[in-house]
Amino acid sequence: MNLHKYEKIWLIFGIGSLAVFLAVIGFAAFWKGTHPQSHIETIDPQNVEAHEAFKPENLGLREVADGKYTVNIIASAFNYDLGKDENGNRVDTIRVPRGSTVLFQVTTPDVVHGFQIAGTNVNMMVEPGHISRYETVMKNNGEFTIVCNEYCGIGHHLMFGKVEVYD
């Protein structure tokens, strides 16, 4: 099994590229902390309100420190519960200033859902029994649609919300 000289160069180049890719994402993940969401905490799907973050009054956007926010969301077929405003109406848009650090915490009482804020790096699976968390800096302003990107039943495409990042 002798390799041709060009094949050797090609394999070194190819495997080398793969190694570079791994080094780049490995560095970003382990040193810069940009792992994909991998939250390990579990929750009782029959009783998500028992968890502090998912009590009805804690849903939606909260400023936890200067420029730091938390957004708690319950995803269920076929709706994202982003909390209620002062008048008791349901919220459908989250507004944060540009450059703020936002932690999204999502869970579901029923089936598997997706949670993607299209145009950002927030994209997680939401599964009954687990909490999904991802913290990100909203670098760009604009309107970003929250979509459910995992098929969850007949009304799946009716599940959405919005994030608005302003200057």
Partner 1 sequence: MKNKNPKPQHTKSNESTIHFKGTFIAVMLLGVIMVASWFGVYALFLSR
Partner 2 sequence: MAFMYVTFTSLLVGGLMGLLQTFVRSGKYTLPFGIDYYTILTVHGVILGLVMTTFFIIGFQFSLMGKTVGLTDKQRKAAWWSFWIMLAGTIMASVMVLTGQASVLYTFYAPLRAHPVFYFGLALVIIGSWIAVFINFRQLYLWRKANKGQKSPLLAYMVTINMIMWVIASLGVAVSVLVLFIPWSLGYTATINVLLSRTLFWYFGHPLVYFWLLPAYMAWYAIIPKIIGGKILSDSLARLAFILLLLFSIPVGFHHQLTEPGIDATWKFIQVVLTFMVVIPTLMTAFSIFATFEATGRKKGYTTLFGWFRKLPWKDVRFLAPFIGMVAFIPGGAGGIINASHQMNALIHNTIWVTGHFHLTAAMTSVLTFFGITYWLVPHLTGRRLTPRLNKLGIIQSLTWTVGMLIMSTAMHIQGLLGGPRRSNFSEYAGGAQVDTWISYQMAQESADRFSSLPSS
Residue 109 binds partner 2, judged by CB under 8 A: no
Q: Which of 102, 138, 148, 163 binds Cu ion (CB under 5 A)?
A: 148
Choose among 154, 166, 162: nearest CA to 100: 166
Q: Which helix (H) or strand (E) holds 63?
A: strand 60-65
Q: Does 151 bind partner 2 (CB under 8 A)?
A: yes
Q: Is 131 helix (H, G, I), strand (E, B) or coil?
A: coil
166 is an interface residue for partner 1 by CB under 8 A: no
Residue closest to 59 by CA, chosen among 36, 79, 35? 79
- Min dist CB 150 to Cu ion, Å, is 6
Q: 124 to each of 7, 13, 42, 84, how far by Cα in Å?
A: 40, 34, 15, 23
Residue 9 interacting with partner 1 (CB under 8 A): yes
From 63, 121, 153, 155, residue interacting with partner 1 (rule: CB under 8 A): 121
Note the residues at the interface with partner 1 (CB under 8 A): 4-7, 9-10, 13-14, 17, 21, 24-25, 119-121, 139-140
